[in-house]
């Protein structure tokens, strides 16, 4: 069972199936590469009775991150704390997924994309996001943005309840 705030990493070639979901279920799915083959196998017997938490799927492992069991630790930016999902370790550093939030000391924060992908989704609260040499844009729960490779944005006007999902590759 997945609950609000939980996440999974479904590595390449893993067999999976959604068994059921609530009417209010919303999912954020990030795939890389963006084009991948999906096959339907109607005779699939899932879930399997054997669980191998260390099974390797093309260099990656399955991850199930449960929000209620996670700890907040010092974050990647001054004045922020983060809840790491374990996806960075399971992908050998190919991608990291964290939920970040400002602490009491948080101020304007610069985010830079030195890699291929930098995706941010506003899980809770509000923030102003200002790309270099552009006007600031107000973002609220449910909004998202991508920082292009080599790009930067500054975050300001951080609400107390702000939580951001950050996916970096």
Backbone dihedral region of 150: left (phi > 0), alpha (psi from -120 to 50 degrees) or beta? left
Structure confidence at residue 1 as a pLDDT band (50, 70, 90): confident
- 19 part of a folded domain: no
Q: Answer yes or no: is pLDDT of 9 > 80.
A: no
CATH code, domain carrying 76: 2.60.120.10
- 5 part of a folded domain: no
> Taking the mean position of all CA atoms in its chain, how far away is CA 51?
24
pLDDT at residue 107, rounded to an integer: 85
- 122 part of a folded domain: yes
- 144 part of a folded domain: yes
Percent of the chain residues past pLDDT 70, beyond the cut: 89
- pTM metric for this prediction: 0.84
- 63 part of a folded domain: no
- 79 part of a folded domain: yes
> At 155, is the secondary structure helix, strand, or coil?
strand
As for how many domains the chain has, the answer is 1
Structure confidence at residue 118 as a pLDDT band (50, 70, 90): very high
Letter string b/e over residues 68-78, b meaning 16 or more CB atoms within 10 A of that residue's CB? eebeeeebebe
pLDDT at residue 24, rounded to an integer: 84
Tens-place pLDDT, residues 120-141: 999 999 999 999 889 999 999 9
Tens-place pLDDT, residues 25-79: 787 777 766 666 666 766 767 666 777 777 787 788 888 888 899 999 999 998 9
Distance CA 97, CA 83 (A): 9
Identify the domain containing residue 117 by its residue range.
69-168
Give the residue-averaged pLDDT of 139-147.
96
- 30 part of a folded domain: no
- 53 part of a folded domain: no
């Amino acid at each position: 069972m997945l609950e609000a705030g939980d996440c999974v990493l479904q590595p390449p070639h893993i067999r999976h199936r959604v068994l059921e979901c609530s009417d209010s279920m919303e999912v954020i799915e990030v795939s890389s590469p963006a084009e991948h083959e999906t096959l339907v196998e109607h005779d699939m017997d899932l879930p399997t009775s054997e669980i191998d938490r260390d099974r390797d799927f093309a260099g990656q492992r399955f991850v199930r991150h449960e929000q209620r069991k996670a700890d907040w630790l010092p974050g990647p930016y001054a004045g922020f704390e983060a809840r790491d999902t374990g996806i960075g370790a399971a992908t050998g550093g190919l991608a990291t997924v964290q939920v970040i939030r400002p602490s009491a000391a948080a101020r304007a924060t610069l985010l830079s994309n030195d890699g291929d992908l930098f995706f941010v989704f506003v899980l809770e609260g509000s923030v102003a996001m200002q790309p270099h040499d552009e006007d600031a844009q107000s973002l609220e729960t449910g909004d998202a943005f991508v920082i292009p490779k080599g790009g930067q944005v500054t975050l300001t006007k951080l609400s107390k309840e702000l939580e951001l999902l950050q996916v970096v590759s």
